[in-house]
Chains A and B, each alone.
Chain A
Amino acid sequence: MTAQLAAHSGSFAVDATTSLAAYSTSTGEAFQFWILGTVAVIGALCTVFMKKSVHSALCLAGTMIILAVFYLANGAYFLGIVQVVVYTGAIMMLFLFVVMLVGVTAADSLKETIKGQRWLALLCGLGFGILLCAGIGNASLNEFEGLAQANAGGNVEGLAALIFTKYVFAFEITGALLITAAVGAMVLTHRERTERAKTQREMAEERVRANKQLPPLPAPGVYARHNAVDIAGLLPDGTPSELTVISTLRERGQIRDVSDQAIKDLKAIEQRSEERLGREGHEERKGRAEEAAK
């Protein structure tokens, strides 16, 4: 679909070569703008208002793809592709990784805790938006040049010519910036080990001394239908044991309690087996009766 749209914009660019300054774009582009623009705004709003951050991330990815389409429509072919590949493909996936790390299922409460913050935000947002739109409207930008001439030698070539001549220093500096950012991220997430790692023997001795769990921790609860790690194993009295679930899930409160479920399941199994047994018994009796009749 992206390719199609790009082709469409390309055709527009060809059209625009005839007249340098235009006042209006093609109807197709207008149609595309109104449809996709609406979707982009909805996506942005969903990014803000979705309770789960993973949903927000997905909505944002959608908005970004639409923006990529708009870039293509505006003659920025290279940027359109980069938007999809780098932004949506790499950066948003980085976001998703972090969302996974922090807890994919955790839902945020949207209840405001700072007094007046929401109203202030609304007021500022409205004021800012209205003023910005007023500014754009005030600027009387009815005429536009179009990129036909600039893109005549190819969009990528044109960009390259600019990057490696006029913007070469900015380009080099952004390179340095990227490396610094990468190093910074490593420094931030790196944890220095300040003491010698304990050997297995030392840990065992420590456990004996502390009279803690000596053998390995018990495995999570395993049933015929559920063998996931988030189900606590049941103690003989039927209550779930915390020890059987890993601490990360415990902290996030993501342990699935299946104790009553297990009982329900057990009942269902019993009932079903009884039914089967009953039916079988009935058939048996029937068979016996038939045999007896014979």
Chain B
Amino acid sequence: MKLEKVVVIGAGTMGSGIAQWFAQTGCIVTLVDSSETQLQKALAGIHDSWDKLTSRGKLTGLEALKQRLSISTLDGVDPGPDLVVEAIIEDLDIKKTLFLRLTELFSSDAILASNTSSFPIAQMAEALPSPRRGRFLGLHFFNPATVMKLVEVIKGPETDEGLCHDLYRWFDERDKKPALCKDSPGFIVNRVARNFYGEPLRIVGEEADENQLREVDAVLREVGGFRMGPFELMDLIGIDINYSVTCSVWEAYGKEPRFAPHPLQRKLVEEKRYGRKSKRGFYTYD
């Protein structure tokens, strides 16, 4: 499979990370956004990261690397990329409108992919003309994209199966660990990981005190070997974000009890105790 030219749309945290990773693997990358300010900010951030890696001796060929990454608005972008990865805001209508536009801008050979974590690939595919759906799929990266190895390769209902396997192999031959999965709510990780939060919440209950939270975190770190316990991790992610993902998966599975949010999550969100970012969550931060 030839993936030489890649366009990444959306210069936020995920889009920047994805663009940086593709450039580091040797691809010619264009990072696209509607905001020139955001593009400049993202480019400066990536360059800064590469400068630091170079000064620490972890990266070589800095100048060539910088030349492989450019920024552009959608109107000015090269129409012949091999792969286009969308990493914009999680809004289904906006994504559908964008993908329809992408089919007009880019050649029919281009693979179109969404980095969505929450919307079915099938729903986005509906926006595409039928002949383009075979080369449309989900490529779900994890943050930070340059560090986290996983890419979920998500086959939509009309995605060419061979294309999914080719992409799987392409990532596997590089610095990624791909996982092939069906188009279903939460894909693999956001579904299977729900109980890492939901079960500890049920162990401590609604009236949990801080000692209990610390004990559960310690057990899952020290006995389980996890890098962080569930409560400290929810505080880091943002309890509001974690709660929102939980609700979204729960709704998508028809309120299946295995995914039900816990009342304590809702209570903390209502009290604006979001975790580290609000200085209070399960724990209190100075």
Partners in one complex: no
Residues on B close to A: CB < 8 A? Answer: none
